[in-house]
Amino acid sequence: MVWVRSEYAGELAVVLAWLSALLPWNITYSTLSGVGSVLFVRFPFFQVRYVFGISISEAAAVMTPLGALSYQEGQSIAVAYQAWAVGAAVVGAAVALSLALYLAEERVEAAFDAVRAMGALLSLAGVVLTVATWLLWTRGFPGLPIPVGVVLLYLFGGALLVARRE
């Protein structure tokens, strides 16, 4: 069974890279003592934190992986934020490859199999962000992190890795 036709594999690789950059890899709903309920939606390049029960101007905050890592410096979960930063860099490499594919597909494909490289990058991002999710869960971050986008990264990467190339 062929999931990806070879003539569309390059275009699919570009689209899947951008979807990977735009979809949240992790969603966590937590109840923190003294603060109340907090929702974290983590995308590869930023996170949105929303605290329920206070004014919206104070409730919502946006942070980059490096900003979140700086905020957690010295805490046991800082290593999870380090893994997130590495995952963001891998997704960033996939987006850079997608731009190269979009702008000069024939030249890029002549140099190497960019579709398989994209599949490898998205799969690697899935592995790294799985580690980040596991570290959030085991290092005492309250709530259960749900790896929504991580599952999609594995599916996207796998589809590109098994694409029939002619």
Average pLDDT over the chain reads: 89
Of 166, 125, 156, 153, nearest in space to 12 by CA: 156
103 or 32, which is more confident?
A: 103
Sequence-ordered list of residues with C-beta below 8 angstroms from that of 122, at least 6 positions apart, any chain: 16, 17, 20, 91, 94, 153, 156, 157, 160
pTM of this structure: 0.89
The pLDDT, as a whole number, for residue 92 is: 98
| The pLDDT of residue 1 is above 50 | no
115 or 53, which is more confident?
A: 115
CA-CA distance, 140 to 62, in Å (whole number)? Answer: 22
The pLDDT tens digits of the residues spanning 38-94 come to: 999 999 999 999 998 888 888 899 999 999 888 888 888 889 999 999 999 999 999
The pLDDT, as a whole number, for residue 44 is: 96
Mean pLDDT of 105-119: 91
| The pLDDT of residue 22 is above 60 | yes
Q: In which element (H, E) is residue 59 found? A: helix 56-59
The pLDDT, as a whole number, for residue 114 is: 92
What is the identity of the amino acid at 22?
A: L
The pLDDT, as a whole number, for residue 54 is: 82
Q: Which residue has the tokens 């790294």?
A: 128
The pLDDT, as a whole number, for residue 165 is: 67
